[in-house]
């Protein structure tokens, strides 16, 4: 049987790595290798060209402060058609906070408006004060689990009729108390959740890995389940802290199985 393999591309770890967004890649790599699936990781830094995306299975674009975000955005304007084509072709991508904002039409700051990549028909405006703190979401495509993370952003993002990534149960998300965070478009997830996000949310990681494997191999079967009890307990701790739930539904179901 041929060994399955995914190719992961990390965009600008040198500039957009707030709260160690790179940990998302480590998490993906571990969860692939624990299942005997191979993984190749490449990264490009500021000033370097985007490689051929036709052979890429997943892209991470993290978040960062406005200055770094704007440098990346200016640089990526040279490659926006390639990135758009990758996303339209169902390429998997996770873009976080500043990386999510720059995919839109513009980012309006107090005294300038910065043109975005115009890959998504969304926009961001800086608001009064920053939205900072733990955040909990419910994503309808992730059965029986909550998505937990940490947000810290001055920008408020308006997504029109796109599908949001999740309903906010605690925190802010796209804008002040708007009820939703992020966006899902094809296999792209844009979100305000740092953390890094994936180690805290194993079901979300496996959802992303499954989509990327399906795109490359078609029906590859199913991911072998892993023992996620520690990750799920950490996730549950945050949920209990803010939502006052005794035990998340997913942990209950998991315990019933063992
Ligand atoms: N610079 C953006 C903002 O403050 C993004 C911040 C981030 O990526 N954490 O809105």
Q: What is the 3-state secondary structure (H, E, C) of the chain?
A: CCCCEEEEEEECCCCCCCCCCCHHHHHHHHHHHCCCCEEEEEEECCCCCCCCHHHCCEEEECCCCHHHHHHHHHHHHHHHHHHHHHHHCCCEEEEECHHHHCCCCEEECCCCEEECCCCCCCEEEEEEEEEEEEEEEECCCCCCCEEEEEEEEEEEEECCCCECCEEEEECCCCCCCCCEECEEECCEEEECCECCHHHHCHHHHHHHHHHHHHHHHCCCCCCCCCCCHHHHHHHHHHHHHHHCCCCCHHHHHHHHHC
- Closest C-alpha among 80, 70, 145, 75 to residue 101: 70
User: For this structure, is 97 an active site residue?
Assistant: yes
What is the per-residue pLDDT for 248? 54
Instruction: Indicate whether residue 69 lines ligand 1 (CB < 6 A).
Output: yes
Q: Assess whether the C-beta atom of 62 lies below 6 angstroms from ligand 1.
A: no
* Ligand 1: nearest atom to the Cα of 19: 9
- Going by CA atoms, what residue is nearest to atom 1 of ligand 1? 66
pLDDT(1) > 80: no
Question: Tens of pLDDT along 132-164?
Answer: 999 999 999 998 889 999 999 999 999 999 999
Which pLDDT tens digit goes with each residue over 51-110?
999 999 999 999 999 999 999 999 999 999 999 999 999 999 999 999 999 999 999 999
How much is the pLDDT for 143? 87
Among 153-167, 200-214, 242-256, which stretch is predicted with the lowest mean pLDDT? 242-256
Centroid of ligand 1 to alpha carbon of 219 (angstroms): 38
- CA of 145 from ligand 1 middle (Å) equals 26
Mean pLDDT of 97-126: 97
- The per-residue pLDDT for range 24-37, each reduced to its tens digit, is 999 999 999 999 99
Is 46 a residue of the active site?
A: no
Contact 48, 82 (CB under 8 A): no
- How far, in Å, is the centroid of ligand 1 from the Cα of 155? 6
pLDDT at 244: 72
Mean per-residue pLDDT of the chain: 94
């Amino acid at each position: 049987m041929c060994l399955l393999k995914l190719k992961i591309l990390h965009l600008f770890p040198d500039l957009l790595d707030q709260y160690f967004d790179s940990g998302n890649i480590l998490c993906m790599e571990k969860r692939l290798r624990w299942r005997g699936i191979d993984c190749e990781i490449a990264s490009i830094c500021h000033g370097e060209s985007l490689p051929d995306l036709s052979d890429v299975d997943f892209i991470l674009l993290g978040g960062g402060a406005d200055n770094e975000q704007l440098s990346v955005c200016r640089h990526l304007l040279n490659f926006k058609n390639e990135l758009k084509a990758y996303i339209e072709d169902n390429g998997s991508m996770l873009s976080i906070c500043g990386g999510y904002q720059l995919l839109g039409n513009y980012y309006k700051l107090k005294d300038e408006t910065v043109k975005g990549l115009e890959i998504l028909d969304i926009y961001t405006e800086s608001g009064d004060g920053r939205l900072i703190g733990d955040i909990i979401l419910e994503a309808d495509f992730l059965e029986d689990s909550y998505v937990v993370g940490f947000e810290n952003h001055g920008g408020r993002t308006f997504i029109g009729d796109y599908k949001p990534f999740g309903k906010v149960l605690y925190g802010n998300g796209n804008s002040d108390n708007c009820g939703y965070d992020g966006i899902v478009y094809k296999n792209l997830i844009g979100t305000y959740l740092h953390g890094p996000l994936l180690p805290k949310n194993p079901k979300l990681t496996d959802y992303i890995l499954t989509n990327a494997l399906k795109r490359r191999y078609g029906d590859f079967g199913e991911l072998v389940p892993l023992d996620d009890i520690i990750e799920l307990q950490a996730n549950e701790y945050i949920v209990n802290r803010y939502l006052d739930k005794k035990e998340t539904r997913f942990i209950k179901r998991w315990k019933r199985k063992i």
